[in-house]
Chain A
Amino acid sequence: MTESTAAVAPSAPTPATSEVVEASLLSRIVRGVREAGPIFFILVVLLVLIVMKNPNFAKPSVFLAFFKAAAPLAILAAGQLFVIVAGEIDLSVGSLITVVVTSAALMIAGNPALALPVIGVLFLLGALVGLINGLVTTRLGVPSFIATLGMLLVLSGGIFLLTGGAPRGSLSENFRVFGRGNIDGVPVIDQLPISVVILLVVAIVAWWLLHRTNFGQELVATGGNARAAQLAGIDVKAVRTVAFILSGISGVIGGILLGGFAGVSAQVGQGFEFQAISASVLGGAVLGGGRGSVPTTIAGALTLQALFTLLNLYGFPTPIRDAVQGMIIIAAVGYASYRLRGVR
């Protein structure tokens, strides 16, 4: 922008940017923790309740196993968060997971040499699914809830068409290791689940993308007021499409972890789209866009998982999870909308 003279002549450009950024970083963290407080508090309470019921849970290995189980959902929720922040919704991730797991089994068919190339193919597939979701939503003007719903039907129908109704083939051990393997010999905790490492990496990348890049801020602006964002020169269609692609990729990562953790089945991804949405909403993301944070969303996913664990411990039948999840979604969204309109 050197050729143009600044309209309001500012004093000579100063390199003082970092100072401002830093000050704001601190205040942002303070504000973030204050706003996000409740979900971390609830998570801690639930974990304490679990430990009270089952003291074993406090052991590092059991505790980490909990994170291992929660990792796929947390990753999915992080991906879904991008879509929600952009003001959209992605209902296709659950069936994408099923597609990932079953098609991986079909392609690998137990041959370890194929694991890596197949993973590459899966990532391309996830990105493609996200791209289509994004294009159908932004270019064809189909509401994302319908677009991704259609994608859900296409994916679930498509995969069983390929497999003939029941999952075939099998995953190789080097594919499954991501979901269920551990890194041995780690000090203090001895074993560190690989999926927890992946979760950490995904969380950091997602946090960086959403909170520390132009793209993330454009996404938030798009979700907050698409019209204003567009008039400010933001390519809202591209931004939204990228959000869908990120969600698709998170579905692939989640699927790879789940395939390792839970094995191959036709139901492996069922219900995950709603759980991911619940987790984001629990973490304070606002449906309709413009608000959301990666750390609290991951806390939301862990909270949901903790709740399910607690329900198991207390011997509730598994289907009750659904009912609890339903109430949580309603309560969380109701609370958010109350807070947004109530306090000033």
Chain B
Amino acid sequence: MTTPQATMPGGPGTRIQGFRSSVASTNAAPIYLVLLAIFLAAWVIVSLAGRPFLTIDNLTSMLVRSVALGIVAAGQTVVILAGSLDLSVAYLISVAALVSSLIMSGDPSKIGIAIAAVLGIGVVVGLTNGLLVTKLRINAFIATLGVGLILRGLLNAAFDNFAGKVAPEFEVLGYGSIGPIPLSVLLLSATVLGVWFLLRSTRFGHHVYAVGGSEETARLSGVRSHRIIIGAHILCCLTAVLTGLFLVARIRAGAPWIGPDGGYDLESIAAVVVGGTALAGGRGGVWGTLAGVFILAIIDNAFNALQFNSFVKDVVRGVIIIAAVAIYAQRERRAGR
């Protein structure tokens, strides 16, 4: 927690109050209870069905599954907090996977160039999204949808199968581990911690919340709201690129369907809203998103274990997303009364 209370009278009391208010403002606590409940429910149900759930293997696989979505959802959290959103990430993930695997073509010496190149692409796409939203004042939904369609068109026109090949050393990112901890989990942790720190402790982060809360208020207070929104879009696209790199390290070659098949655009938004971040921006945080990612992963895992038809998953996912947003909307409505 922060320190200013220490200078104030009434030490412990204020500390608790401060802790409460900051936790309440992230809305993260209740969602972790929900996560726990879902975890326990899945455990019981899957175990009753005689399938493994609480095994190291299964837990690890759940974690690794969460990595790809978790990284991009962390970025998506930032754009949504800033009052925007990004629907282009799924195709950007494919672009990152394809371009990096094409540049590497199995050559370890090109790993650096490949990573630099796709990060550059991420910056360009994020910048484009941000400029469309701020300077041309195009509704974020439409702007990023449009950019996504452009990327999809170009991808599908140029590729219809796997292309390129990552360097074997690069696969470490997808399969390596340090001690018992998979490298990919560390990657996710680093991303989430990084975004958390950014939002909590930097001026950029503070301004993201302010712009999402009220762009006009932020602007009149001297915040460069356009720069903040553009920055949030760039950050989100960089996380999408990171997800693309992770996925291509696991799949070993890029393909145009990697992103869209994972549904990373809608899934990442779903994880963010399930995690309690307001779609309108200004309220929430990356820890909630992480819980949202885990919830989606557990449900996915349980359905797989129970050998449910994949279409059931779609239905349930749709219902969960609507229900989550509806519950938050109702709570908001009651709080506003």
Q: Which residues of A contact B (CB under 8 A)?
A: 89, 136, 140-143, 145-147, 149-154, 156-158, 160-161, 165, 274, 277, 281, 287-288, 316-317, 319-327, 329-330, 333-334, 337-338, 341
Check if B149 sits within 8 Å of A274, measured CB to CB.
Answer: yes
Check if A322 sits within 8 Å of B153, measured CB to CB.
Answer: yes
Q: Which residue of chain A has the shortest Cβ distance to B263 in the bound complex?
A: A153
Partner of B319, one of A154, A288, A317, A324: A154
Tell me the smallest distance from the CB of A202 to a CB of chain B, in Å.
Answer: 25
Given A136-B322, A157-B318, A321–B143 Cβ distance below 8 Å?
Answer: no
Expressed in whole angstroms, the Cα–Cα distance for A184 and B235 within the complex equals 60
Binary per-residue interface labels of chain B (312-332) against chain A in the complex, 1 for a CB within 8 Å, 0 otherwise: 111111110110011001101
Q: Which residue of chain B has the shortest Cβ distance to A89 in the bound complex?
A: B141
Q: Which residue of chain B has the shortest Cβ distance to A286 in the bound complex?
A: B139
Expressed in whole angstroms, the Cα–Cα distance for A323 and B95 within the complex equals 14
* B59 at the binding interface (Cβ < 8 Å): no
Expressed in whole angstroms, the Cα–Cα distance for A147 and B326 within the complex equals 9
Q: Which residue of chain B has the shortest Cβ distance to A156 in the bound complex?
A: B314
Check if B318 sits within 8 Å of A323, measured CB to CB.
Answer: no
* B187 at the binding interface (Cβ < 8 Å): no
Partner of A330, one of B132, B151, B157, B319: B132
Binary per-residue interface labels of chain B (115-146) against chain A in the complex, 1 for a CB within 8 Å, 0 otherwise: 00000000000000000100011110111011
Residues of chain A lying within 8 A (CB to CB) of residue B148: 326
* B154 at the binding interface (Cβ < 8 Å): yes
Tell me the smallest distance from the CB of A308 to a CB of chain B, in Å.
Answer: 12
Expressed in whole angstroms, the Cα–Cα distance for A334 and B134 within the complex equals 11
Check if A141 sits within 8 Å of B157, measured CB to CB.
Answer: no
Residues of chain A lying within 8 A (CB to CB) of residue B141: 89, 145, 287
Binary per-residue interface labels of chain B (244-260) against chain A in the complex, 1 for a CB within 8 Å, 0 otherwise: 00000000000000000
* B309 at the binding interface (Cβ < 8 Å): yes
Tell me the smallest distance from the CB of B241 to a CB of chain A, in Å.
Answer: 19
Tell me the smallest distance from the CB of A26 to a CB of chain B, in Å.
Answer: 34
Q: 13 extra interchain contacts, Cβ-Cβ under 8 A, other than A322-B149, A325-B146?
A: A89-B141, A140-B326, A141-B326, A141-B329, A149-B318, A153-B317, A153-B318, A154-B318, A157-B313, A320-B154, A321-B153, A322-B156, A325-B153
Residues of chain B lying within 8 A (CB to CB) of residue A327: 146, 150
User: Which of A149, A153, A156, A325 neighbours the largest number of chain B CB atoms within 10 Å of its CB?
Assistant: A153
Expressed in whole angstroms, the Cα–Cα distance for A165 and B314 within the complex equals 13
Check if A142 sits within 8 Å of B326, measured CB to CB.
Answer: yes
Given A320-B157, A337-B138, A329–B145 Cβ distance below 8 Å?
Answer: yes
Partner of A334, one of B136, B154, B315: B136
Main secondary structure of the interface of A (DSSP, over half): helix
Check if A337 sits within 8 Å of B137, measured CB to CB.
Answer: yes
Residues of chain B lying within 8 A (CB to CB) of residue A141: 326, 329-330, 332-333
Q: Which residue of chain B has the shortest Cβ distance to A327 in the bound complex?
A: B150
Q: Which residue of chain A has the shortest Cβ distance to B273 in the bound complex?
A: A146
Q: Number of residue pairs across A and B with beta carbons under 8 Å?
A: 138
Residues of chain A lying within 8 A (CB to CB) of residue B333: 141
* B198 at the binding interface (Cβ < 8 Å): no
Given A157-B312, A158-B311, A287-B142, A150–B147 Cβ distance below 8 Å?
Answer: no
Check if B147 sits within 8 Å of A143, measured CB to CB.
Answer: no
Q: Which residue of chain B has the shortest Cβ distance to A143 in the bound complex?
A: B279
Tell me the smallest distance from the CB of A198 to a CB of chain B, in Å.
Answer: 28
Check if A338 sits within 8 Å of B279, measured CB to CB.
Answer: no
Check if A323 sits within 8 Å of B157, measured CB to CB.
Answer: yes
Expressed in whole angstroms, the Cα–Cα distance for A154 and B312 within the complex equals 9
Residues of chain B lying within 8 A (CB to CB) of residue A330: 132, 136, 138, 142-143, 146-147
The 10 closest A-B pairs by CB, nearest first: A323-B153, A157-B314, A326-B149, A153-B318, A319-B156, A141-B329, A322-B153, A150-B322, A157-B315, A326-B150
Check if B322 sits within 8 Å of A322, measured CB to CB.
Answer: no
20 A-B pairs with C-beta separation under 8 A: A136-B326, A140-B322, A140-B330, A141-B326, A141-B332, A143-B279, A145-B141, A156-B314, A157-B312, A157-B314, A161-B315, A281-B142, A319-B152, A319-B157, A321-B153, A323-B149, A323-B151, A326-B152, A334-B136, A337-B138
Residues of chain B lying within 8 A (CB to CB) of residue A140: 322, 326, 329-330
Expressed in whole angstroms, the Cα–Cα distance for A184 and B141 within the complex equals 45
Expressed in whole angstroms, the Cα–Cα distance for A115 and B139 within the complex equals 42
Segment 148-175 of B: residues with Cβ below 8 Å from A: 148-157
Tell me the smallest distance from the CB of B49 to a CB of chain A, in Å.
Answer: 19
Partner of A323, one of B154, B279, B317, B322: B154
Residues of chain A lying within 8 A (CB to CB) of residue B273: 146
Check if A326 sits within 8 Å of B322, measured CB to CB.
Answer: no
Expressed in whole angstroms, the Cα–Cα distance for A146 and B315 within the complex equals 14
Check if B139 sits within 8 Å of A323, measured CB to CB.
Answer: no
Q: Which residue of chain B has the shortest Cβ distance to A163 in the bound complex?
A: B311
Check if B322 sits within 8 Å of A325, measured CB to CB.
Answer: no
Tell me the smallest distance from the CB of A254 to a CB of chain B, in Å.
Answer: 20
Check if B311 sits within 8 Å of A160, measured CB to CB.
Answer: yes
Partner of A322, one of B132, B150, B266: B150
Check if B139 sits within 8 Å of A333, measured CB to CB.
Answer: yes
Expressed in whole angstroms, the Cα–Cα distance for A302 and B172 within the complex equals 51
Residues of chain A lying within 8 A (CB to CB) of residue B311: 156-158, 160-161, 165
